[in-house]
Chains A and B, each alone.
Chain A
Amino acid sequence: MRATVTIDIETCKGCALCVPVCPPAVLSMSEAVNGKGYRYPELVEGCTGCELCAKVCPDYCFEVYREPAGRREARP
């Protein structure tokens, strides 16, 4: 895994703007709802750490993490 995001699902308001901007399409909206009644994005493997989800999010829900350049796990 070379990158990932953390998602503050309780702050999310379910706008889903993050889903279509994700180039590897690793975000999709949940079936469950958070404490405010909104669906929230769920992550699957494949995040590239491009930061686009974080940049479009109106509620600042994402933190993005990446391996430093030159350090990557071997892909399976």
Chain B
Amino acid sequence: MNQPLAPTPSMQKVFDKPALLLSTEHSLCPGCGEPVAVRLMLELIAELGVRDRTICVAGIGCYTCFPMLMDIDVMQALHGRAPSVATGAKRVRPDAFIFTLQGDGDMASEGLQEVIHAAARGERFTAIMLNNGVFGETGGHATATTVLGQHTKTTMGGRKAEQHGHPIRMAELLAQMDGAAYVARGAVHTPAAIKTTRQYLHDAFQSQLDDKGFSFVEILTMCPTDWFVPPDKGPGWLEETFKKTFPLGVVKS
């Protein structure tokens, strides 16, 4: 530990890692935005007092390292399948607090049908999509949210509309479903964005607790590794390039 300016006895600890995080040893890359998003979720679960009835339904991606690190019940689903699994769980345990943790490859590529139907049905869980525009866990391949011009291992030279088609804006898509009660898109690349995203997650969780319908938060996360930028340039790439396709804000409430 770095000691020269150690806390004095009169100081209070005002920030610590989340109580529900069992270890900081995760294998994600330097500068990855996903752990920042997960921190917000764990803080809110504790604050809202729902830990004892929380079930996280996890998809498959880089973030799949988190189920074993979170002190909540986690049901691990298959790639793309978290929304149907969450549907079954919430239908038989309506008092449970259920959220899915998925990436863009998981939700928008493999599992697009599942989340649209869950939103249309107004299933009472909160779906969360960590969007970095790549399949990170397999090494950086294009997904349904890769933006035009984005360089990936399957869009070498940049995604071209004529060849690779266009990205899907999940927040706007799901907001069209009458069963969706709260839809927002946030990001975790700046302190201000992190603070706003925390509010979006809070409001989404609250809409589940208030039994309003399906709730969805899309969170833009940095992936410097698969964006081919140094870790400290991830936030800039998100702001200057990625965010242009995916505007931040509340889409439906």
Contacts and interface: CB of A to CB of B under 8 A. Distances in A.
A and B touch in the complex (CB under 8 A): yes
Interface of A: 1, 3-4, 6-9, 11, 13-17, 19-21, 38, 40-45, 47, 49, 51-52, 54-68, 71
Contacts of B14: 49, 51, 64-66
Contacts of A3: 11
11 contacts: A4-B8, A7-B1, A15-B31, A15-B231, A21-B190, A44-B5, A51-B14, A55-B195, A58-B32, A65-B8, A65-B11
A7 B12 contact: no
A50 to B, nearest CB: 9
A19 B31 CA distance: 12
Given A1-B8, A16-B31, A52-B191, 20 more contacts: A1-B5, A6-B1, A11-B25, A16-B232, A17-B231, A17-B232, A17-B234, A21-B190, A21-B191, A55-B195, A58-B28, A58-B31, A59-B35, A60-B21, A60-B39, A61-B24, A63-B13, A65-B7, A65-B11, A65-B12
B30 A38 contact: yes
Interface residues of B, number: 40
Interface of B: 1-2, 4-8, 10-18, 21, 24-26, 28-36, 39, 188, 190-191, 194-195, 224, 231-232, 234-235
Interface centre among A4, A7, A59 (most CB of B within 10 A): A59
